[in-house]
Every structure is written in structure tokens, then in C-alpha cells.
Structure 1
Amino acid sequence: MIMKKQSHQGFGTYCVHAGHVPDPNYAHLTPIYASSTFVFDTAEQGMNRFTGKEKGYIYTRWGNPNFTEAEQKIAALETHQLHDSQGNPLQAKAILHASGMAALTTLFLSELHAGDKIITHLSLYGGTDELLQKILPGLGVEPIIMDMHDLQRVEDVLKKEKHIRMMYLETPANPTLRCVDLEACIRLAQQYHLVTAVDNTFASPYLQQPFRYGADYVFHSTTKFLNGHGTAVGGVLVGRDVEKMEQHVTKVARLLGGNSNAFDAYLLTLGMKTLELRMQRHCENAVQIANFLDNHQAVSKVNYPGLTSHPDYAIAQKQMKHPGAILSFELKEGLSAGKKFIDRLQLCIRAVSLGTCDTLVSHPASMTHYGIPREQREKSGITDGLIRMSVGIENIEDLLADLDQALS
């Protein structure tokens, strides 16, 4: 039986147990269902499953027991201890995808049509930015990218632009860690009847729950903190309108064919069991590293929402349980010093992505955001000398020692 939502059940308990259905053969963990298709007892049963009269699996592009467990666990975490307007436990439906970009594509093609516009902000993940600016315009969808800290200006745009259909938010943003006020932005979007979607990848549901503020959709690259071990690429789209998710959005996802696979879903489920424990250590380490870098003579700037010097410190304090495990910084000597620093690292890993147990260091301008024009990058605060760090769960003394020797 799927674990029922009760107020006394903690987030960590959900991480371990939510979504799990006892295996008929009494396996402790859900086995890997490495099957492309599923059999029917009778022709009528097959017909009933295709028409939706009977629940059951048909074909792995349409669903798989490993997908179901991961999806239900993520939906449970994003709605943990939240309630709807009638005071009932909030319900949500998740759809697992092969990548974050696949989940994002399902979101956009489910909600946006030719003639629609989407409003969003500066400093998005590079892939999201390119999808908005290089793919959607070809489908007749126009992005409006602006500073969403000036809510009066945002409202002026909403009053003027009658074809805006969606507000898309990413907070904290990649890689500047800028945060937008979810409560204020979503409330404004609701006044103008917009669909709202939030990329919650950097925070994870442990630190932030966008549904708390009325978001319609929550998006994750599950590759990151949810998986936590760098073992599988994936993405998930979670929606508050369960009927719409089960009907229209599921149809779009199946036809686009961006489904996950049984093995990656199995790895994701295993990773999520330790999400709470990992996030606690990630965050403890990140605070100490941010303070260390902020006081280091070789560092000119640190972007971390937990520092009072960060422009969005107050917003992060308001809507996040903790400022998180990601930071970025610049060295006083710029790009050349940054390259030397990265090359001198001995414990920290030189790699893109984030959210793994080990600390990852990358150079956004030449890696994750290489496809964004330099002028636009710099306008968003992504300079050529910016270094991004995803802080892992290693012992803090070892991480600080590695950073110190690399900066010396």
C-alpha cells in the first residue's frame, strides 16, 4: 500500500517510503522491470487498459513500475505537509522523463501554442535559455526575459502584453544564485491568469516547495540532488492539476517519447532515500565554504544566498529552509587565475552537473552556458571569470584544505 500522507510523518520518512508498493514476490525493493512491454490476460483486458477503463501497464514508453515509484515519491516530497484550499492534503501528479530538457519540452508543448508568450527572468540554466530563445520562437512562442525583482515593471509588462500565457521561474538561478520571490511573482501571475512553472532543481523539495505558493508546475533535473550520485540522467514534471496531468500532459509526454527507463528510475529511487541526510551535509559544508571564500584575499566576489552581501539574501531566508549547496565566485585575477585554480584542485572534481556526493567545480561561460552570447551572459552576471561549485558531502576540513592550496 502506498504510504498515506499524515502530518506526523517526517520528510525523511517520505524519502525512504513514499511511493513504494510491496512487490508480489516479496522483494524488499522494487525490482528493475527491464521490459519493453507488458502482457494481458485477455484481449478485453488489453482493450480496457488502452481505453483507460482498467489501470495497468501496457508499454514502457507509457509507464513502468519503476517510473511509478519514483514519480509518486517526488510528488509526495513536493507536496509534503501542504494542503489545498479545502484543507485536504495537496495532491500532485509527476511524470518522469529521460532528462530535464525532455521534461521541460513536455511542459512547454503542453501549455504553449503559436501566438503565446512566456515571461521569465535573467540567468537561467543555459539549456533552458537556448530552448526559449532558439527553439520556441520557431514554434511561434515568444520569450520575454526581464529582471523580475522589479514587480511593478513586471506588472506593467503583463498589462501591456495580452498574449503572455506562462510565467517561468528558476530560483535559485544557475549559476548566479539569484533568487526571485515565489510568493510575490506567483500571486502576480495569478492575477493575470497565467500558468506558473518553477525549476526547483537547485533547491530540491527539501529546501523549497513552490506548490506552497500556488505554482501550477514544478520541474526538476532529477540528475542532480534527487538522484544525488551522478549515476543517471533524468527529469520530472510535477503538476498540481492531477486530472490535466493524467490526461493532456501525459498524452503529450507519451507522444514526444522522452520517457525514462527502468534502470535510471530505479537508481533515482535509491538516491532519493537519502535526500534529507545528503542535503543537510551539503548545506552545512556550503555555508563554511562560502564564508571561507568570502574572506579569502584572492576572491573578489562570492554568489551565495546565505551571505548577507547577496542581493537576494532576504528572499532566500523567506522561502528556503537553507540557502543551499551551490555557490559561484570570481577571483581577483579573473579568468586566468580561475583556470589555474581549477587545474590545481586535488580533491574537488572538475566536471559539470551538480548535486552529487562529491564536490564539482565548473566554468559556466565555457561549459554550461557556452551557447549563450557573451553580452547576454554578462548582463546576467555570468562573467568569463565566474566559477561554479556544487558542494559535496566530504569532510569540510578536507574541502577547505583543497581550496586553500588551489588558491595559494
Structure 2
Amino acid sequence: MDDQQHGFGSACIHGGHSADPRYAHLTPIYATSTYLFDTAQQGMDRFTGKEEGYIYARFGHPNATEAEQKIALLETLGLSGPDGQPLQAAALLHGSGMAALNTLFLAHLKAGDKILTHHSLYGGTDEVFRKILPGLGIEVLFADPEAPQSAAALLEQDPAIRLIYLETPTNPTLRCVDLQTWIGLGRQYGRLTAVDNTFATPYLQQPFRYGADFVFHSTTKYLNGHGTATGGILIGRDRDHMAQVVTKTYRLLGGGGSPFDAWLLSLGIKTLELRMERHCSNAMAVARFLEQQPEVGRVHYPGLAAHPDYQLAQQQMKMPGAMMSFELKGGLEAGKKFIDSLRLCVRAVSLGTCDTLVSHPASMTHYGVAKAEREAAGITDGLIRLSAGIENVEDIISDLEQALYQAKGER
């Protein structure tokens, strides 16, 4: 099949799949740590890259290949390269999102280099920026995502900035970063750009459309969709660079994922389009409900007209997504009481599963971020993050309503 000629849902199902020589409908799970060579010459040819083929599961395996090709297709579907031909990217599947991030950083940065990014990032990413990279001599600069002119000034003044790293919508305050403007700055000043597209998925947003060099996902979330396996993926638009420089780093860091987890990921992606439609419609209804509740001080959801990035979300996203956060007026204690009172919605970190997940960033995902830094990024003690599931939306709202009622006494 010519993958680029099909719709998104068809690509979710058929993309990346190769016919099995034993006629299995789905790609079998390749539960083997190593692969055989017919001859010593074949082994040499595979190690040198002269011949394509598998060597060792840490380097790659058929289940990873299918997931990589499927996700790379979804991120480039309908896009054209500089030559006018369909854009084709290359991807590397990892055992976790953090493994994929570290491959990105260590493949492109050395002591003395700098990253330019913005506030309100995923807590794990923020900790790597503040606690790991500085020890390697890599400095991270933070700019206001609403003031690209300040980023332009930094890029103009500091040639040591090697990478611009963006996350949109941001976690957990759901601010949107203008991809066209920020990636445009990267091209203007000759810097690499990478975008965390986990919240949006390629169904809602394609950063390669704006010229990004790399796109990152925690595949644990919406791509898998069922909370069955961790994973991460790094996709690059320069396929030769990915095959040489990035693949070498990936293999040596040992961040590859298991065949079973990759198989679960490919299986989950088959329903991505259907799930995202339901996730997003539920999220809109929930956000509108929360916006009317007296116990809620503010709802952070790009689909609401009151959101500061509403117009931007309309421009660069197909729908505003399924993630939101909201602030309870009662602060920390009200937040704890609210979460403890949930009956249908699930108390858990992570996101993107079929069920509605609710978490408290101040005590969970962003616990390792200093309070002053959290609050500067808009992550208050009473902030609740919600990943809208695909249950009947009436049931989600009913559960939230009774939990808000229980939390009233904490105001």
C-alpha cells in the first residue's frame, strides 16, 4: 500500500506493517535477544550497514520497526519535503520517553553547548534540564514562550545555543507554544528544533509541518492508549542523520524497548483516531462543566474561549486535546479531598488511557520541582490535572460533581 495516499485512520491500522512470511495477520512478537547470520560475511555486512537486517534486540527488532515506521508515517502524513515529494522521517523506539529524550540530548550536545526552552515542562524533562545536563557542562536557558523576541535576542547573542526544545501544549498548565514562530527562529539562526508532541499526538498536531527537526513522544500515553506498556520515540526528518549519528548514540545508551511493549504499542495505535475523537469531545464537555463550578477558580483548557492561547490552538491543532488542569479555590487540602472522593475517575499519574486519570502535580509529577519554580510556572498547590478518558461523558461529569461537593468543606 502507498501509505501516504491513505487517510489517518487507515495509516494507523496498516502503516508500517509488512506481510508475515508465515501468514500471521498481526506481526508476531519476536521474543529473541539475538538474530542469526547465514555467513560471516552477512554478519559483517549487517554490522557495517551494507545489508539491512537485525543483529541484536538492543539494536532493534521487527516489532520496534513496525511501531517506528507507523509513527513516523503519522507524523509526516500529508506533508511534503523541500523537493515537493512526500516527507519521510525516521524513528527510533525506546523503552521509555525519558530514554528517547536522553538520546536526543546526548546525540547532539556536548560540554559548552546550551538548550533554549520555556517554563512549564513535564516534570521529568525539567529535572533533566536542572539536575543532569548541568553536570555534563550543558546549560539550559528558559525564555518566555509568549515573547519570542526575547528568544531571538538570546539566539542572536549566544552561538552556544545548539537546540531549541519545545513542549506544546505544556504540562500541566496547558499553554500553547507558537510552533511556526519558534521553529522559524531555529531555521533563521541555524539551530536544531525538537518538539514534545505527547499531549497532542500526530492526529491533532504535526510539528514537522512547521519545519521541526525532531519530534518526541512518550508512547506510554495516547499512542499506546491503554496504559499497558512504557515507551518513547524520537522521530527525525533527516533520515541519514538518524541512521548514523542518532542510531549510534541510541544503541550505546541501551534505551531500546522490548518486543512485547512494541507490539502493544502498534496494537494500540490502530484505534488512535477513534480514541482521540472521543477523548477530545469528552474533554470539551468536562472543561465547560468545570468552568461553571463555584469551587473551581480557573480551568486551563485550550478549547475554552477564555484560555489565553485559544486562537493559537485553533490555528495549529485539529482539536484542543484531551488534557486539562483546573485550580481549586481551597488549595492543597481541597485538592487532596477532591481526589480522595473520586469514584469513577482514577487517581494516577500518566495520561492518555481509556479511563479518566486525575493527578495532583504539586505532590506527584512535579514533586521534584522546587515550590517557587512550580508556582512561577503556574503550578499551584491546588492545581488538578485531568486526562479525559473515553467513558460516557455523563458519568465522568457526575463523578467530578460529587467529588467537588465533598471538597467544599476544605475551602
TM tier, smaller = over 0.9
Listed as ranges, the matches of 1:107-126 within 5 Å are: 107-126=104-123
Aligned to 1:65: 62
CA contact (8 A) 2:115 2:161 kept: yes
Partner secondary structure for residue 9 of structure 2: helix
Q: Return closer, same or farther for 1:129/1:86 CA change in 2, 3 Å cut-off.
A: same
* Structure 1 residue 361 corresponds to structure 2 residue 358: yes
Mapped partners of 2:69, 2:77: distance in 1:
12
Residue 201 (structure 2) pairs with residue 200 (structure 1): no
Aligned counterparts of 1:332 and 1:141: Cα–Cα separation in 2: 39
**Aligned counterpart in structure 2 of residue 38 of structure 1, from 35, 40, 44:** 35
Q: How high is the sequence identity, in percent, across the aligned residues?
A: 67
Verify the 8 A CA contact 2:118 2:145 in the aligned structure 1: yes
Instruction: Report the residue type matching 1:43 in the other structure.
Output: A
Q: Which residue of 1 aligns with 2:15?
A: 18
CA distance in 1, matches of 2:150, 2:142: 12
* C-alpha contact (below 8 Å) 1:5/1:89 kept by paired residues: no
1:101 aligned onto 2:70: no
Secondary structure in 1 aligned to 2:117? strand
Displacement of 1:159 in angstroms is 1.4
1:224-279 deviation per Cα after TM superposition (whole angstroms, max 9, x unaligned): 00000000000000000000001110000000000011000000000000000000
Deviation at 1:297, TM superposition (A): 1.2
SS of the residue 1:137 aligns to: helix
Which residue pairs with 2:162 in the alignment?
A: 165
Residue 406 of structure 1 corresponds to which residue in structure 2? 403
Please point out which of 202, 217, 227 is paired with 2:214: 217
Q: What SS does the corresponding residue of 1:321 show, helix, strand or coil?
A: coil
Q: CA deviation at 1:156?
A: 1.3
C-alpha offsets along residues 137-189 of structure 1, whole Å, 9 cap, x if unaligned?
Answer: 11111000121211111111111222111100000000000111000111011
Q: CA RMSD in A?
A: 0.7
Question: Which whole-Å deviations, capped at 9, do the CAs of 1:80-107 have from their partners, x for residues lacking one?
Answer: 1000112100010000001000000000
Partner of 1:292: 289
Give the drift of 1:311. Answer: 1.1
- The one-character-per-residue Cα deviations of 1:59-84 (angstroms, maximum 9, x if unpaired) are 00111000000000000000010001
Give 2:240's aligned residue.
Answer: 243
Corresponding residue for 2:275?
Answer: 278
CA distance in 2, matches of 1:268, 1:19: 12
Partner amino acid, structure 2, of 1:95: L
The answer to whether the Cα contact below 8 Å between 1:123 and 1:173 also exists between their aligned partners in 2 is yes
Residue number in structure 1 paired with 2:316: 319
Partners of 1:35 and 1:121 in 2: how far apart? 42
Checking the alignment, whether the CA contact within 8 Å between 2:143 and 2:150 is kept in structure 1 is no
Q: Give the counterpart letter for 1:172 in structure 2.
A: P
The two structures have a TM-score, normalised by structure 1, of: 0.98
Equivalent AA in structure 1 for residue 290 of structure 2: L
Checking the alignment, whether the CA contact within 8 Å between 1:123 and 1:175 is kept in structure 2 is: yes
Name the structure 2 match of 1:5: 3
Moved more, 155-164 or 265-274: 155-164
Q: What is the deviation of 1:6?
A: 3.5
Q: Does 1:337 align with 2:338?
A: no
Deviations 1:299-326 (A, max 9, x none): 1110000111111111111100000000
Matching residue of 2:408: none
Matches of 1:14 and 1:397 in 2, distance apart? Answer: 32
2:372 aligned partner: 375
Distance in 2, Cα, partners of 1:325 & 1:143? 29
Quick one: which amino acid aligns to residue 4 of structure 1?
D
Q: What's 2:306 paired with?
A: 309
In the alignment, which residue of structure 1 is the partner of 2:260?
263
Paired letter, 2:239: V
- State the one-letter code of the partner of 1:53: K
Distance 2:23 2:374 in 1: 53
- Paired with 2:28 and 2:12, the residues of 1 have a C-alpha distance of 18
Equivalents in 2 of 1:92, 1:289: separation in Å? Answer: 36
Equivalent of residue 28 in structure 1, options 22, 25, 28: 25
1:405 partner amino acid: Q
Rounded to whole Å, the distance in 2 between the matches of 1:13 and 1:221 is: 22
- Residue type of the partner of 1:92? A
In structure 1, how many angstroms separate the alpha carbons of the residues matched to 2:385 and 2:148?
28
Offset, 1:329: 0.3
SS of equivalent residue, structure 1 residue 50: helix
Letter in 1 for 2:51: E
Q: State the TM-score, normalized to the length of structure 2.
A: 0.98
Unaligned runs of 5+ in 2: 406-411
Aligned: 1:92 with 2:85? no
Give 2:122's aligned amino acid.
Answer: Y
Q: Which residue of 2 aligns with 1:253?
A: 250
Residue type of the alignment partner of 1:30: T
1:75 is aligned with what amino acid?
Answer: A
Unaligned runs of 5+ in 1: none
How far off its partner does 1:336 sit? 1.1
| Native 8 Å contact 2:4 2:77 kept in 1 | no
Deviates more, 1:329-338 or 1:358-367: 329-338
Three-state SS of the structure 1 residue aligned to 2:4 is: coil
